[in-house]
């Protein structure tokens, strides 16, 4: 029996208990999970898009939403200044897209704590409130990621058993996608948090990447279990106690060759790894282009013959094709897009949000966490 079917049966037997179960978030966003269970079908995903967040907002954000709409990914809801969004939709001949007016926006350099206090009428704050109130099934934002995390944590809260949400980034590995988390949400972590990150990453790998028994490893300075700092050694002990397929320590060189499917680390190390990978990919591309342009006729001919292969490599390494990173552990589907996201990256981020909704990632994380025996979470 599916989770939706189980909740519907529970509603028939004990409606009060079913309502409490749904509100606690074990079957997805509070009201949406109950509604979908009672209807017995998956509704069209409603994606609330922070149209004013990002370096290229609102133009590229709107263009990406239009592309996603024409792909048939779901119901796009643009949240932002209607006076600026309406002309853009008319320009794209997509006036049918819904706009929810929010008069202000959170600056990219705003302090997260200050952003929370003044977020009620901002595009990001309104979009998260829509998710909380069951008016949307997911939120996508390329805006201030610190503010996104802070507002979502307060308004949505975490799934029971999860202390802190984590940003999960999908890397293009040699044999397929690899998940790295945390990629920047928590620069200081406790060992049990890393174990929770492993559970969340494994749930995402199963649900969205279709990896039936994902291998989970922890980033350290060597493969031997005795290597690492106090955080990684104790976190490895906690991960051993979970039902996960935990394979132990990972070297940095192991990440992109699929030694593990889920790579766990704290947000400080994870963000450094992410930025290093972005910089390395960009540098390699520039070196190849420079060598081709600086070569002779033979080099140019060889490049011409290799163009199809080079295009495939570029597509595999292009961030725009991955788009956004899920903020896992919250009672709602949240996707963090890159601040420099263009329309293609936004389309990919929206696609990631739709996948998270359809595969009930929130419910799967709650199920996996509920079945583990992690120690009680200490106060942050």
Residue 277's CB is within 10 A of a number of other CB atoms, namely: 18
pLDDT of residue 247: 95
Instruction: Find the mean pLDDT for residues 65-73.
Output: 95
CB 261 within 8 A of CB 214: yes
Bigger pLDDT: 298 vs 116: 116
Instruction: Find the mean pLDDT for residues 240-253.
Output: 93
Residue 186's CB is within 10 A of a number of other CB atoms, namely: 24
pLDDT of residue 302: 81
CB neighbour class for 373 (10 Å; exposed up to 12, middle 13-18, buried from 19): exposed
Percentage of the chain modeled with pLDDT above 90: 59
pLDDT band at residue 373 under the 50/70/90 scheme = low
**Distance between alpha carbon 118 and the CA centroid of its chain, in Å?**
25
pLDDT of residue 78: 97
Q: What is the tens place of the pLDDT at every residue in 125-140?
A: 999 999 999 999 999 9
pLDDT band at residue 321 under the 50/70/90 scheme = low
CB 320 within 8 A of CB 187: no
CB 39 within 8 A of CB 28: no
């Amino acid at each position: 029996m599916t989770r939706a079917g189980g909740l519907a049966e529970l509603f028939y037997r004990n409606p009060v208990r079913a309502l409490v179960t749904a509100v606690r978030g074990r079957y997805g966003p509070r009201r949406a999970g109950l509604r979908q269970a009672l209807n017995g079908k998956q509704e069209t995903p409603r994606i609330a898009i922070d149209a004013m967040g990002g370096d290229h907002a609102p133009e590229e954000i709107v263009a990406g939403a239009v592309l996603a709409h024409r792909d048939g990914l779901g119901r796009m809801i643009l949240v932002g200044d209607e006076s600026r969004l309406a002309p853009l939709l008319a320009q794209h001949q997509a006036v049918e897209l819904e706009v929810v007016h929010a008069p202000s926006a959170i600056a990219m350099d705003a302090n997260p704590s200050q952003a929370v206090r003044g977020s009620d009428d901002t595009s990001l704050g309104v979009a998260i409130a829509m998710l909380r109130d069951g008016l949307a099934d997911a939120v996508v934002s390329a805006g201030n990621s610190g503010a996104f995390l802070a507002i979502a944590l307060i308004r949505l809260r975490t799934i029971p058993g999860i202390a802190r949400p984590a940003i999960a980034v999908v890397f293009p590995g040699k044999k397929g996608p690899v998940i790295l988390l945390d990629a920047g949400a928590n620069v200081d972590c406790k060992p049990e948090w890393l174990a929770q990150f492993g559970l969340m990453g494994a749930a995402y790998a199963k649900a969205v990447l279709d990896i039936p028994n994902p291998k989970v490893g922890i980033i350290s300075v060597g493969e031997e279990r005795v290597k690492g700092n106090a955080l990684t050694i104790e976190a490895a002990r906690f991960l051993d106690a979970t039902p996960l397929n935990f394979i132990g320590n990972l070297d940095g060189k192991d990440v992109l060759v699929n030694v593990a499917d889920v790579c766990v680390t704290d947000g400080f190390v994870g963000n450094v790894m992410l930025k290093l990978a972005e910089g390395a990919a960009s540098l390699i591309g520039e070196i190849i282009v420079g060598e081709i342009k600086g070569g002779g006729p033979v080099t140019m001919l060889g490049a011409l013959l290799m163009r199809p292969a080079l295009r495939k490599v570029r597509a595999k390494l292009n961030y725009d094709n991955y788009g956004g990173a899920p903020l896992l552990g919250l009672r709602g589907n949240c996707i963090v897009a890159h601040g420099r996201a263009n329309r293609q990256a936004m389309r990919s981020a929206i696609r990631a949000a739709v996948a998270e909704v359809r595969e009930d990632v929130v419910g799967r994380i709650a199920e996996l966490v509920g079945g583990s025996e992690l120690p009680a979470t200490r106060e942050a």
